[in-house]
Amino acid sequence: MRVLLKPYCILSSSVGALLTLDVFAVTVSEIDVLGDIPMVNVVSRFEQPLSRAPASVTIIDRALLDASGAQTWADIFRLVPGFQSYSVNGNRYGISSHAFGKDFPNRLEVMVDGRSVYEPVFSAVVWGALGVNFEDIDHIEVVRGPSTPSQGSNALLGAVNIVTRTPVQDSGTALTYTSGARSTRNATLRHNNKLGELHYRLSLGYQHNNGFPSVANEGPLDDGRELYQLAFRGTLTPSLFDSFDISFGLVDNTEGLGDADHPNEYLSTDYDSNYQSLTWVHSQASGNEWKVRAYHNSLRVGSRDDFGLISEAFDVSPLLVPILLGIPDQPFSLGLGSLASERFDLELEQRFARWDGFQSVWGLGGRWESVTSDFLFHHDDEISEESFRLFSHNEWLLGPDWVFNFGLMVEDSKVGTLVSPRLAANYQFIPNHTLLLVVGRSERSPSISERNMNQFLELGGLAYNAVIRSGEGLGEERVDHAELAYIGSFPGANVELDMRFFREEGRDGIHAFEEDIVLPIALVDERIKVIANTGEWETMGAELQLSYRPLSGSLLRLHYSYLDLESDDVKQFEPTLQHSDFNRSRPRHSGGLLLAYQFTQRLNGSVMSYYQSAVEWQGGNHIDEFTRFDAQLSYNFSLVGSPSKIQIIAQNLGGDYSEYSRNNVFETRFYIKLELSLP
């Protein structure tokens, strides 16, 4: 079956027209998709049904992950309307919400079980260092819009919480192995057990692949991966009123890092990360609850490649090096060198029991971060900073139909005090049908790296290429946002529908302009990028999620996003003021359609299409529109009395397309996955 997703037709369709989608045959409702997860807490820090949350939310659960056949984090977030999800390299991903496709997107907060994994040294998430096996994921909560009132500065345009399965949800040992295209070999071993009163899960993971295929006439990209990871999570309930959640893990990841426009410059890069987290929850007889969370993240990155002598690297005579560069011929190397990132975070939170239609939570926290990198900052001294936050969220049920939410985050940062409020009203105008109106402001402090950047490339201690530096007086950026959403359920038709219309106005955006500079060695253009608050943008758009279940065991899930971007940026101040824009830096149309069906008790299958319109990625290339088709077939069986499953996955059943860079060619790929449960 060939399914063509035409986004502009979807946008113009009425709700009534959407309900006729049973022509596609196979489908399922949001109830099926969400399974046993009717509540979310990432939006307000206390549990709320989707219809009462003060923001639009997408939930990706275990069943949806399996039906999608996702092999990477980029595959997973293609399921979310309004998200940009792409492969910068074969194993490095750019994932953002309404952002402007860069190699390190920097305005999306990502958490694992409430622990932020946003890395200050890159001002972004390093997805290869999370230490999360896909098989350990229970569900993922995604806030589709600014979420700084709840999660802080890094959630300027959205927030994600990856929730892993608690140790009490599973028992015994399970083994998973995936093999397929690009020499993929992935394996996980999970063991759930009990030690005294401590329920625990120990997970081991291994990943290997060869990244994107070689570029014709230019050689291999060398962006493959070799990854080992360990994760432990334990839960302890010593009393009726107290519980502890303990987790720690480590990752040893080696992958190729580079610019796909220059295949011969890829470098093997080591990412070593570890984390430790402890959460204590104390419940009181009154129904109030206290929570204390402390965690530590650490990341070490290293890469360097020796190219021999300067004369060999640039293919010139050794005698010409002193004449051309003014320095003697000597060894030449490139790479990140050694980078380090560290974070300690402590947070106290109190949730009050619901009283007369009112519930509330407040809290405060402190954070210490440090970064070290001679490559990024032109010195190897540690740079550290502290920040503090105070937050409160309140929900008021006014009668059976109205719900009001107010949230506020106040942060004390290096650039001053940031205040991010959000006010929302939910109105259930008829049973199962709710309108949501949200207004707010989000403020983001520049990261420690953005404020201290000073990147030069040198030969013999002399700079030959000025890359980027931080401008003086770099301040916070802000987004004023408003949205009108509809959340509807049609129980008789087994349909769930979520539509969102929004406007986001960004001011003092952190971008970079170009400035002339005089270098000791003039090998390249003598210009440098300067990070400053020079960007402005306005986004108006619409998002849609639809799920439909005509039959038991069937699913149709449709999502779509339309983004209209108007932007302005300063390209240079001297010698003449020049402006530019980044209007095409994200796709105007994107969306997907998932069809799934349970053929028998043992056999199920699904097909999925994904469409993206043309885009001009910042730091990447112009990428034409494409439509991609995936499929999977799963068979459940018993092996030596234990439940097992075999899954065949096909990705991009059609012509090749490119992601982020024209040289990142995504061809048709096939995988086979085996899951075994051991007694």
Tens digits of residue pLDDT in 298-313: 999 999 878 788 888 7
pLDDT at 28: 36
> d(Cα 239, Cα 229) in Å, to the nearest integer?
33
Contact 130, 117 (CB under 8 A): yes
Q: Is residue 276 part of a domain?
A: no
> d(Cα 453, Cα 529) in Å, to the nearest integer?
10
Q: What is the pTM of this model?
A: 0.92
Res. 14: pLDDT tops 50: no
Q: Is residue 298 part of a domain?
A: yes
Tens digits of residue pLDDT in 443-488: 999 999 999 999 988 887 888 888 999 999 999 999 999 999 999 9
Q: Is residue 1 part of a domain?
A: no
CATH assignment at residue 598: 2.40.170.20
**Number of folded domains that form the chain:** 1
State whether residue 409 is helix, strand or coil: strand
Q: By residue range, what is the domain housing residue 62?
A: 7-267+281-678
Q: Is residue 274 part of a domain?
A: no
Tens digits of residue pLDDT in 229-272: 999 999 999 999 999 999 999 999 999 999 998 888 899 999 99
Look up residue 596 and give its amino acid.
A
**Structure tokens belonging to residue 381:** 């001294």
Q: Is residue 272 part of a domain?
A: no
**Which 8-state DSSP code applies to residue 55?**
S
Q: Give strand pairing partners of 418.
A: 411
pLDDT band at 5 (very low <50, low <70, confident <90, very high): very low
> d(Cα 175, Cα 187) in Å, to the nearest integer?
7
pLDDT at 21: 32
Q: Is residue 273 part of a domain?
A: no
79: left (phi over 0), alpha (psi -120 to 50) or beta: alpha
